[in-house]
Amino acid sequence: MSEFDAIVVGAGPAGSSSAIKLASSGLNVLLVERADPPGSKNVSGGILWGNELAQIIPDWEKNAPLERYVLSKGTGLLTEDSLISIDFRSKKFEKNKTGYSVLRAKFDQFLANKAKASGATLVTGVTVDRVAVKDKKIIGVEQDGDVITSDVVILAEGANPRVAIDSGLRKPIGDRDVAIGIKEVIRLPEATINERFNLRGSQGYAGEYVLGFLPGGVKAGGFLYTNKDTISIGAVVNSADLRANNSTYSYNIMEQFVTHPFIAPYIEGGKVEEYSAHLVCEGGIRSVPKLSGDGYMIAGDSASLSFSNGLVIQGMNYAITSGIAAAETAIAAKSRNNYSADSLKSYDEKLASKYVLEDMKTFKGIEGVTWSNLMHKAVPKMAENIFFDLFYETGQPKRHLYEILLESTAGSGMTKSQLILEAYRAARRM
């Protein structure tokens, strides 16, 4: 007889969602979180997309600590001298809200408290070392030599999944699985943020940028999200290229982004409140480990369930969806009183039938595009050449766009045939 029906490791969006679903279905759940209070070790890229939370917290849009809803979605290419950007803003997003900026210390604490209110036992400041194994079956978790038993363990530890790795349930993280995320939270008056980003009330801006100005083959993306009276701004640095370069400090890339001539004005006069860093799952479907086995399931970032195509980064919605799917699987397993690998296999099937694995399979190889030389070096430079040529009045006869386009490829650092091949690959994968 186990002490708990389920133990959930990690009180982030995946773990707390799972615990809420489990506890509100009457299961005896232990939710273990190493941070105290929950959320105080968590960092997000910033936007919670979708409406998954409605399944477990119907009134979440009213009561969760949300910062602003995304009215305006920006995508930009930065070169040393230029910013080429698209700002898509729509009244349609007012009616059909698609994303909210959140600050995780507050947001995750809200979710963990919901889990507690649903009946889960929440333990904070406790670090699980590994899963406990008996007769090759997972029977709970181990902490400082003590074993706490449960019929099933759900690992939702985030992007640096020590328990899963140290228990041999997934391979150690490598350069191709993660990028290095670095972020600052900068305080500015609410009215200043509204003015700078052309927003009103709780309208928000979410921008993703290609940092095309980085020398030495280093690649990084940037993000900028408006909160109520702060701005979340950060860089996501490609690990493999940083290693190949081996002379650029990750934190200097962040500094280069926030001091870029067309980014700095957004945050000018603001007070840096917090600096943080966190891994970002970027490996796509190739990084996803075995999702379940005898007595366990892996959810959220721990299972590398995230999506990025360069235009949008999504993780929290995948975490919530997978956490709920793991809970549903555990509830069904309890009714069958069968927690074997076969019984829990329906977790994998659930994720395959939802958008989580579907997206990751559809966009297989997308990370090869988002981190390509085409996207990070050639396209920003070409775009700059084209627009400069189009808009700069020389007093000379004007040229056809086609000629400008052809000429712009010369400054891209790639040959024409390379460009055509890479563009074809990108179009196929996006």
Partner 1 sequence: MQIEEKLSLLNYKTDKGYEHITVKPDICAVCPDHFCTFACPASCYTLIEGKLNFKYEDCVECGTCFFACSHGSVAWSNPKGGHGVKYKFG
- If binding is defined by CB under 8 A, does position 127 make contact with partner 1? yes
- If binding is defined by CB under 8 A, does position 230 make contact with partner 1? yes
- When binding is defined by CB under 8 A, the residue of 26, 36, 87, 430 that contacts partner 1 is 36
397: DSSP letter: P
Phi first, then psi: give them for residue 2, nearest 5 degrees.
-85, 155
How near is the Cβ of 96 to partner 1 at its closest, in Å? 27
How near is the Cβ of 45 to partner 1 at its closest, in Å? 11
Residue 371, C-beta contacts closer than 8 angstroms, at least 6 positions apart: 219, 238, 241, 282
- If binding is defined by CB under 8 A, does position 260 make contact with partner 1? no
217, burial (CB in 10 Å: exposed 0-12, middle 13-18, buried 19+) = middle
Taking the least distance from each CB to partner 1, the nearer of 44 and 72 is 44
Taking the least distance from each CB to partner 1, the nearer of 260 and 429 is 260
Q: Where are the beta strands (DSSP E) in 249-407?
A: 271-281, 292-293, 296-298, 307-308, 313-314
| CA distances, 109 to each of 17, 299, 304, 317 (Å) | 12, 19, 22, 17
How near is the Cβ of 173 to partner 1 at its closest, in Å? 5
Site for partner 1 in 298-357 (CB under 8 A): none
Number of residues that bind partner 1 (CB under 8 A): 58
- If binding is defined by CB under 8 A, does position 184 make contact with partner 1? yes
Helix/strand/coil percentages in the chain, nearest 5: 40, 25, 35
- If binding is defined by CB under 8 A, does position 145 make contact with partner 1? no
- Answer yes or no: are the C-beta atoms of 74 and 4 closer than 8 Å: no
- If binding is defined by CB under 8 A, does position 160 make contact with partner 1? yes
- Closest C-alpha to 56, from 317, 336, 412, 332: 317
- When binding is defined by CB under 8 A, the residue of 159, 169, 325, 366 that contacts partner 1 is 159
- When binding is defined by CB under 8 A, the residue of 81, 255, 342, 403 that contacts partner 1 is 255
- Answer yes or no: are the C-beta atoms of 187 and 222 closer than 8 Å: no
- If binding is defined by CB under 8 A, does position 254 make contact with partner 1? yes
Per-residue three-class SS string for 217-232: CCCEEEEEEECCCEEE
Q: Cα–Cα distance between 413 and 409 in angstroms, integer?
A: 8
How near is the Cβ of 107 to partner 1 at its closest, in Å? 8
* From 111-119, 251-259, 327-335, 368-376, span contacting partner 1 (CB under 8 A): 251-259
- Answer yes or no: are the C-beta atoms of 47 and 350 closer than 8 Å: no
109: DSSP letter: H
* From 176-184, 288-296, 350-358, 413-421, span contacting partner 1 (CB under 8 A): 176-184
- Closest C-alpha to 280, from 328, 235, 244, 325: 235
Taking the least distance from each CB to partner 1, the nearer of 180 and 319 is 180
How near is the Cβ of 210 to partner 1 at its closest, in Å? 20
- Answer yes or no: are the C-beta atoms of 82 and 386 closer than 8 Å: no
- If binding is defined by CB under 8 A, does position 239 make contact with partner 1? yes
- When binding is defined by CB under 8 A, the residue of 278, 334, 350, 381 that contacts partner 1 is 278
- When binding is defined by CB under 8 A, the residue of 8, 29, 32, 35 that contacts partner 1 is 35
Site for partner 1 in 90-109 (CB under 8 A): 103-108
Taking the least distance from each CB to partner 1, the nearer of 49 and 93 is 49
- If binding is defined by CB under 8 A, does position 144 make contact with partner 1? yes
How near is the Cβ of 193 to partner 1 at its closest, in Å? 15
Tell me if residue 47 falls in helix, strand or coil.
Answer: strand
- When binding is defined by CB under 8 A, the residue of 115, 152, 185, 188 that contacts partner 1 is 185
- Answer yes or no: are the C-beta atoms of 130 and 167 closer than 8 Å: yes
Q: Cα–Cα distance between 375 and 394 in angstroms, integer?
A: 29
- When binding is defined by CB under 8 A, the residue of 113, 149, 250, 309 that contacts partner 1 is 250
Residues at the interface with partner 1 (CB under 8 A): 34-36, 39-44, 103-108, 124-127, 129, 144, 159-160, 162, 172-175, 177-178, 180-182, 184-185, 230, 232, 239, 242-243, 245-252, 254-255, 272-279
